[in-house]
């Protein structure tokens, strides 16, 4: 029955998600070569200007161009996601595959360690890391990356266990192939789809976490534009200049939405059985 | 069964939270109750051991009293001392004490307590400003209502420092648990506290002086400036003791429920240079940075133009104030020229600031302006107080920093070479010593010299003087416009 | 089944022990000298040494750990370096606030997610169902603190219906307590509700596809009736699991929401303690939070064993 979900709606997720993500990537890439104004140039005479041709999203309380900051902030957002997801995927995946192929006791052990890491939620870990190493984007992202390792390890392990019991892997084992060989040839290609989906979802979570941490003062340092910090800095102007908070707020929401939809859409493509779960 | 299990779990949660939530005395909200919002919460009640402005802000003049206090104009006036006389050599002070004063634990206040309290500063206190009492040689108890303090040398600063927490009077019977149970002679006593939320002050029924207009005052601690604003806007509190951001002022001014009162403080927002470190040990480099910064723009951007440009470490409420704000006009060309003369290129300095909103804002502006003259800076917000105090203030591990210096007459810190400024000028040290021991007239002349010398040396860059912006419901009046003492003085407040 | 539960219990206790060591080691590497922080910048070296001894931070790490964990097992978390107060009672007090918030947030999430998710599942091929799914996607994408800021702006600052923050204990003034809890619970619960909606929807969809429901419907029951009689019970199994995980998320989400609404809970205590480098307090709070997460995971595991018919037999 679930497979009857119209194909159209599944693709809508994928398409909308891909467009939103592409927008973020585009803004970030373009910002390397061009922004309408210098995003960190403070200008006392241009304080709190409204929407206009020269300042598309107006200016903030320091007279900085909000549109330029949003563009450069997209870089921070991607950086955040790439570092966090990169750490999680690069450590979690091999660990999970290993745990799936290795003897049972080892797999169990890895999963217990996993559960232990899970006991330190990302935000808590990031606050602790911030306290020890100083609040910074990278510190926060490493913490979030570490906290996300279990999701990948768990996924990779269950995927591996499934693949490992399939006939072609059993055949490969019988033929005396090494574990690494089996992992590289059979397991990784088979679970890569799931991992990509997980990456997309984790990316969204990392973006939200950076925003929350910037709000608490444990995130990106000034003056590096970050959507989370823009939101935090414009808080006390919410009544008089709501756009200053709304612009980065909407940017965050759209980016998160984009990565979530992309993940859902990809999952549906890869596994139609799960289509209804979106 | 599943649903029941889940409900049972919730019930346990709720039961746990219910039984633990009852440590605050009930607060009645009536016309006798006033609720004042602050940003910084006292870590504890013991200002003899814990530094930080929040403790005297809450307790001084309200719970603790000294022999003298500062009035709203910055003048030293009697409090527990009815009157006092100074000997011709200006080393002996005779204080006539108020009769019938009792501590809130019932113990009477006498000259013996004066001796106990003043000598205790030397032996038991650990906070940084306690050295102002080093000059006390001994205290004589002439009679129960007559205390005589003898100084080792004349000091103009000493009597002034008695108006601060250093002059607070304690009873030997009331210092057992200073961190949690403050016992003073003031009009209020601490009734309860909920950490992370509030302190409740209740009228001291045995108070010797004028009965306060509000029998209960709730001090609400709200660290986030926006949340503090919202608390007042939504009628959660009656007063914001001091705004830390100017962005919200228009919304209060546009609302007929509120009065916005603006005055001055002692709080110089200072761009500190580490005078000890190359290349900032070169006066030309410090002057270059001072020329490179448009302080008017800083003030406009950080505090919406409210506040005062000062140019040295002297607020207008001090007797030796002179406007030195125009000595270094904004002149990027001159800045570049001075940097070239000093032979420094590609300067890259760390701007290590406390992670407080005003400091972050000011740092972003300063960074942008310094970039215009080719000086790169890296902003490093540090947790305040702990990390900033340790790394910048104690270990001098910084090149630039921005912080408010809130203590009264803290220009004297430039006389201590070990202070984190790293400023070592024999001339300034000598002038400060002469000012302290000389006649009051000579004090004024000498202090003016000190301020000018600091300005000439560009020992620091005084970005602006923080304004005192109080926002209050119209029904509350009696605020002192200028914040000149360490206390948020509740005694003058009354209903309109 | 008992063996399985016992095994989980052993794992829970061991994890707790290892976590306590991790927390302790983490705090041990924090920069900043607690004695210096407590005494201010003017303390003499002798006094510093004396205070270090008083705090016990001059002893070897193993001794420090053992005396800390020994105390914790008796409910004694030590005395704060900064406030000089006992940490244990303070923790309990703050925990109470956080639990109220988490509980209320959970209620909000459930009240939203169960009906909305079921509706979206039953109507999943209709426009209304798709719209609900879309809305829940957007809900997931909004940071909880942004939701909080906006709620405060509307209901506290503009309309002045509810307080913008602050905490009134329930036994002091029950009405004020409830009023003060509404906005924080909403901002915590709305986002979690959106997440939960998606799980409820897919769980109900799965159940709707099961044979026995088809049978029920073929007997003439409407989809809603069939679901009510047979489906919801079964759909609740995965939802309870997710609920457990959500509880952990809510516990941490509360840190941020407490900041927005100035609630004196564990989260604001943690942030204050971190910024004043009140290490022993940070240590205590982190341990409590981590214990909370482990405990929730343990309970979910056990519940899962009890609820899932397939595991019940084994």
For chains A and B, CB pairs below 8 A equal 63
Q: For residue C68, what are the contacts with CB-CB under 8 A and spacing of at least 6? A: C24, C78, C280, C283
Instruction: Give kind and range of the element (H or E) at residue C175.
Output: helix C174-208
Using the beta-carbon criterion (under 8 Å), do A116 and C19 form an inter-chain contact? yes
d(CA B244, CA A240): 17
Stretch A158-171: mean pLDDT, rounded?
A: 80
Return the higher-pLDDT residue of C54 and A208.
A208
Maximal CA-CA distance, chain A: 76
Question: What is the predicted pLDDT for the residue at A278?
Answer: 38
Whole-angstrom distance, CA of residue C275 vs CA of residue B387 = 8
Q: For the complex shown, is ipTM > 0.85?
A: no
- Phi, psi for C84 (deg, rounded to 5): 65, 20
Q: What is the mean pLDDT of residues C51-59?
A: 80
Chains with 3 or more CB pairs closer than 8 angstroms to C?
A: A, B
Residues 6+ apart with CB under 8 A from B32: B214, B215, B216
The two three-digit tokens of residue B448, written as one number? 């003016």
Q: Strand B376-382 to strand B494-495: parallel, antiparallel, or no bridges (unpaired)?
A: unpaired
Tokens coding B13: 């949660």
Residue of A nearest to C203 (CA): A277
Q: How many CA atoms lie within 13 A of B200 on its CB side?
A: 16
Phi, psi of B212 (to 5 degrees): -70, 150
> CA distances (Å), B485 to each of A11, B307, C238, in order?
67, 18, 62
Contacts of B127 in chain C (CB under 8 A): 40, 42
Tokens of C303: 């519940």
Sheet of B136-143, strand order: B81-86, B92-97, B146-151, B136-143
Q: Say whether A252 and C274 touch across the interface (CB within 8 A).
A: no
Amino acid B67: pLDDT: 96
* Cβ atoms < 10 Å from Cβ of A107: 18
CB of C295 within 8 Å of a chain B CB? The answer is: no
Residues 6+ apart with CB under 8 A from C122: C129, C204, C208, C223, C224, C227
Provide the pLDDT for residue C236. Answer: 66
* Chain A hits for C146, Cβ within 8 Å: 211, 231, 245, 249, 252-253
Rounded Cα distance between B151 and B118, Å, is: 12
> Are A17 and A262 contacting, i.e. CB atoms less than 8 angstroms apart?
yes
The answer, yes or no, to whether residue C312 has pLDDT greater than 70, is: no
Q: Cα–Cα distance between A128 and A119 in angstroms, integer?
A: 14
Q: Which residue of B has its CA nearest to A48?
A: B301
- Say if the Cβ atoms of B361 and A62 lie within 8 Å: yes
Q: How far apart are CA A92 and CA A152, in angstroms?
A: 5
Alpha-carbon gap, residue A113 to C14, rounded angstroms: 11
Count Cβ atoms below 10 Å from residue B173 Cβ, excluding itself: 12
Question: What is the bridge-based pairing of β-strands B146-151 and B92-97?
Answer: antiparallel
Chain C: nearest CA to A219, how far in angstroms?
13
- DSSP code per residue over A111-166: HHHHHHHHTS-HHHHHHHHHHHH-S-HHHHHHHHHHHHHHHHHHHHHHHHHHHHTS
- Within the 144-173 window of chain A, which residues sit less than 8 Å (CB to CB) from chain C? none
**Mean of the per-residue pLDDT values for chain C?**
82
Percentage of residues of chain C with pLDDT beyond 70: 84
**Which value, in Å, is the radius of gyration of the alpha carbons in chain B?**
24
Two tokens, residue B97: 């004490």
Partner residue opposite B197 with nearest CB, options C31, C95, C167? C167
Nearest to B174 by CA among B223, B77, B107: B107
Reply yes or no on whether the pLDDT at C303 is more than 80: no
- Top residue of C252, C254, C265, C289 to mutate, by most chain A CBs within 10 Å, is C252
CB atoms within 10 A of CB A80: 30
- pLDDT category at A115 given cuts 50, 70, 90 is confident
CA angle C58/C61/C66 to nearest 5° reads 110
Q: Strand pairing partners for B405?
A: B268
| Mean pLDDT, rounded, for C300-314 | 65
Among C51, C96, C255, pick the best mutation site for testing chain B contact (most B Cβ within 10 A): C96
Beta bridge partners of B268: B405, B465
Q: What is the mean pLDDT of residues A75-90?
A: 93
C251 sits in which H/E element: helix C232-261
The pLDDT of residue A236 is above 80: no
Rounded to whole angstroms, the Cα distance separating C22 from B220 reads: 36
CA–CA separation, B260 vs B244, rounded Å? 13
d(CA C300, CA B175): 51
Residue A103 has which token pair? Answer: 């003897």
Positive or negative: CA dihedral C191, C196, C202, C208: negative
Report the pLDDT value the prediction gives residue B10, as an integer from 0 to 100: 40
Report d(CA B246, CA B57) in Å as an integer.
21
pLDDT at B27 (0 to 100): 46
Q: Is B297 on the interface with A (CB under 8 A)?
A: yes
Written as tens digits, the pLDDT of chain B (496 aa) is 333 434 344 444 444 444 333 333 334 467 789 999 999 899 899 999 887 789 999 999 999 999 999 988 888 999 999 999 999 999 999 999 999 999 999 999 999 999 999 999 998 888 878 888 999 999 999 999 999 999 999 999 999 999 999 999 999 999 999 999 999 999 999 999 988 899 999 999 999 999 999 999 999 999 888 889 999 998 899 999 999 888 888 889 989 999 999 999 999 999 999 999 989 999 999 999 999 999 999 999 899 899 999 989 999 989 999 999 999 999 999 999 999 999 998 899 999 999 888 899 899 999 999 999 999 999 998 888 778 888 898 889 999 999 999 888 989 999 999 899 999 999 999 999 999 998 889 999 999 999 999 999 999 999 999 999 999 999 999 998 998 889 999 999 999 8
In this complex, do C209 and A257 lie within 8 Å of one another by their Cβ atoms? Answer: no
Quote the tokens at residue B416.
């201590």
CA angle B158, B164, B165 (to 5 degrees): 115
Residue A86 CB contacts under 8 Å (≥ 6 apart), including other chains = A145
SS3 A58: coil
Q: Which of A217-221, C98-102, C209-213 has the highest mean pLDDT?
A: C98-102
For the segment C196-245, what is each residue's pLDDT rounded down to a tens digit?
A: 888 888 878 777 776 666 666 666 666 666 666 666 666 666 667 777 77
Q: Is A216 on the interface with B (CB under 8 A)?
A: no
User: Is the pLDDT score of C308 beyond 80?
Assistant: no
| Those residues with Cβ within 8 angstroms of residue C182's Cβ, 6 or more apart along the chain or in another chain | C162
Task: Give the minimum alpha-carbon distance from A175 to chain C in angstroms, rounded to a whole number.
Answer: 35
Predicted local confidence at residue C101, as pLDDT: 94
HSE (CB half, 13 Å, CA atoms) of B158?
22
Contacts of C274 in chain B (CB under 8 A): 383
| Chain A CB within 8 Å of residue C220 CB | no
Q: What distance, in Å, lies between the first and last C-alpha atoms of chain B?
A: 61
Query: What are residue B190's DSSP bridge partners?
Result: B201
Q: Contact C256/A212, CB-based, under 8 Å?
A: yes
Q: What is the pTM of this model?
A: 0.85
């Amino acid at each position: 029955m679930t497979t009857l979900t119209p194909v159209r709606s599944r693709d809508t997720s994928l398409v909308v998600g891909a467009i939103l993500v592409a927008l973020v990537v585009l803004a970030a890439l373009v910002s390397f070569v061009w922004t309408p104004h210098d995003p960190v140039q403070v200008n006392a005479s241009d304080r709190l200007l409204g929407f206009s041709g020269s300042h598309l999203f107006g200016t903030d309380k320091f007279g900085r161009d909000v549109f330029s900051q949003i563009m450069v902030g997209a870089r921070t957002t991607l950086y955040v996601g790439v570092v966090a997801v990169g750490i999680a995927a690069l450590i979690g995946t091999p660990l999970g595959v290993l745990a799936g192929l290795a003897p049972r006791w080892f797999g169990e052990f890895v999963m217990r360690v996993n559960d232990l890491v899970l006991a330190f939620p990302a935000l808590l870990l990031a606050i602790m890391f911030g306290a020890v190493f100083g609040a910074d984007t990278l510190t926060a992202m490493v913490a979030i990356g570490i906290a996300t390792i279990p999701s990948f390890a768990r996924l990779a392990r269950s995927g591996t266990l499934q693949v490992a019991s399939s006939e072609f892997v059993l055949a490969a084992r019988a033929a005396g192939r090494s574990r690494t060989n089996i992992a590289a040839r059979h397991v990784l290609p088979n679970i890569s789809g799931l991992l990509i989906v997980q990456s997309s979802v984790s990316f969204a979570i990392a973006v939200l976490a950076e925003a929350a941490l910037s709000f608490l003062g444990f995130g990106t340092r000034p003056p590096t534009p970050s959507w989370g910090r823009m939101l935090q800095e414009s808080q006390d102007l919410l009544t008089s200049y709501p756009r200053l908070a709304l612009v980065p707020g909407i940017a965050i929401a759209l980016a998160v939405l984009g990565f979530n939809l992309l993940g859902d859409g990809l999952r549906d493509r890869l596994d139609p059985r799960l289509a209804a779960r979106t | 069964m599943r649903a029941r299990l889940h409900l049972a779990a919730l019930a346990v949660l709720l039961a746990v939270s219910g039984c633990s939530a009852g440590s605050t005395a009930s607060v009645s909200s009536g016309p006798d109750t006033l609720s004042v919002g602050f940003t910084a919460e006292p870590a504890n009640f013991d200002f003899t051991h814990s530094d930080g402005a929040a403790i005297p802000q809450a307790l001084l003049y309200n719970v603790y009293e000294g022999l003298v206090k500062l009035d709203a104009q910055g003048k030293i006036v009697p409090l527990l001392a009815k009157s006092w006389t100074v000997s011709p050599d200006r080393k002996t002070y005779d204080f006539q004490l108020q009769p019938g004063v009792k501590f809130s634990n019932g113990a009477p206040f006498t000259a013996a307590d004066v001796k106990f309290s003043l000598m205790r500063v030397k032996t038991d206190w650990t906070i940084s400003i306690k050295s102002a009492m080093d000059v006390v040689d001994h205290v004589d108890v002439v009679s129960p209502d007559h205390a005589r303090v003898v100084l080792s040398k004349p000091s103009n600063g000493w009597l002034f420092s008695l108006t601060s927490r250093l002059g607070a009077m304690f009873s030997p019977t009331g210092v057992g648990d200073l961190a949690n149970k403050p016992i003073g002679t003031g009009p209020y006593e601490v009734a309860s506290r909920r950490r992370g939320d509030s302190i409740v002050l209740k009228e001291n029924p045995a108070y010797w002086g004028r009965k306060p207009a509000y029998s209960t005052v709730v001090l609400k601690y709200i660290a986030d400036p926006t949340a503090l604003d919202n608390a007042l806007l939504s009628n959660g509190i009656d007063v914001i003791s001091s705004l830390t951001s100017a962005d919200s002022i228009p919304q209060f001014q546009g609302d007929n429920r509120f009065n916005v009162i603006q005055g001055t403080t002692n709080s110089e927002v200072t761009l500190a240079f580490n005078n000890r470190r190359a290349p900032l040990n070169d006066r030309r480099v410090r002057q270059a940075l001072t020329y490179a910064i448009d302080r008017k723009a800083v003030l406009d951007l950080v505090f919406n133009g409210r506040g005062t440009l000062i140019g040295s470490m002297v607020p207008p409420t001090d007797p030796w104030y002179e406007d030195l704000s125009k000595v270094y006009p904004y002149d990027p060309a001159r800045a570049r020229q001075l940097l070239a003369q000093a032979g420094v290129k590609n300067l890259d300095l760390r701007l290590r600031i406390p992670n407080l909103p005003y400091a972050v804002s000011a740092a972003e502006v300063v960074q942008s302006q310094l970039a215009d003259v080719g000086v790169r800076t890296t902003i490093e917000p540090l947790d305040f107080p702990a990390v900033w105090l340790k790394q910048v203030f104690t270990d001098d591990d910084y090149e630039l920093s921005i912080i408010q210096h809130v203590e009264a007459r803290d220009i004297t810190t430039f006389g201590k070479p070990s202070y984190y400024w790293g400023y070592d000028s024999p001339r300034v040290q000598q002038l400060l010593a002469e000012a302290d021991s000389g006649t009051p007239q000579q004090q004024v002349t000498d202090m003016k010299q000190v301020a000018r010398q600091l300005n000439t040396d560009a020992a620091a860059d005084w970005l602006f003087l923080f304004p005192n912006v109080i926002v209050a419901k119209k029904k509350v009046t009696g605020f002192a416009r200028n914040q000149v003492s360490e206390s948020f003085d509740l005694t003058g407040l009354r209903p309109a | 089944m008992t063996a399985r539960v016992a095994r989980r219990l052993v794992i829970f206790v061991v994890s707790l022990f290892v976590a306590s060591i991790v927390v302790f080691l983490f705090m041990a590497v924090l920069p900043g000298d607690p004695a210096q922080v407590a005494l201010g910048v003017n303390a003499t070296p002798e006094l510093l040494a004396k205070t270090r001894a008083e705090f016990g931070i001059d002893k070897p790490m193993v001794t420090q750990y053992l005396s800390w964990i020994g105390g914790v097992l008796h409910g004694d978390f030590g005395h704060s370096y900064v406030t000089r107060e006992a940490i244990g009672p303070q923790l309990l007090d703050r925990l109470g606030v956080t639990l109220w918030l988490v509980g209320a947030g959970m209620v909000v999430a459930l009240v939203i997610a169960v009906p909305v998710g079921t509706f979206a599942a039953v109507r999943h091929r209709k426009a209304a169902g798709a719209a609900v799914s879309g809305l829940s996607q957007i809900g997931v994408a909004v940071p909880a603190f942004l939701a909080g800021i906006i709620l405060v702006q509307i209901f506290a600052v503009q309309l002045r219906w509810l307080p913008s923050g602050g905490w009134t204990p329930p036994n002091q003034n029950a009405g004020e307590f409830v009023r003060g809890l509404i906005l924080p619970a909403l901002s915590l619960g709305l986002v979690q509700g959106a997440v939960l909606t998606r799980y409820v929807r897919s769980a109900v969809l799965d159940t709707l596809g099961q044979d026995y429901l088809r049978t029920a419907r073929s007997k003439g029951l409407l989809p809603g009736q069939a679901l009510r009689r047979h489906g919801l019970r079964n759909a609740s199994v995965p939802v309870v699991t997710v609920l457990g995980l959500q509880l952990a998320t809510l516990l941490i989400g509360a840190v941020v929401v407490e900041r927005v609404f100035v609630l004196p809970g564990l989260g604001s205590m943690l942030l204050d303690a971190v910024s004043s480098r009140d290490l022993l307090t940070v240590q205590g709070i982190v341990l409590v939070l981590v214990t909370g997460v482990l405990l929730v995971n343990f309970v979910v595991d056990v519940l899962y064993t009890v609820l899932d018919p397939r595991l019940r037999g084994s």
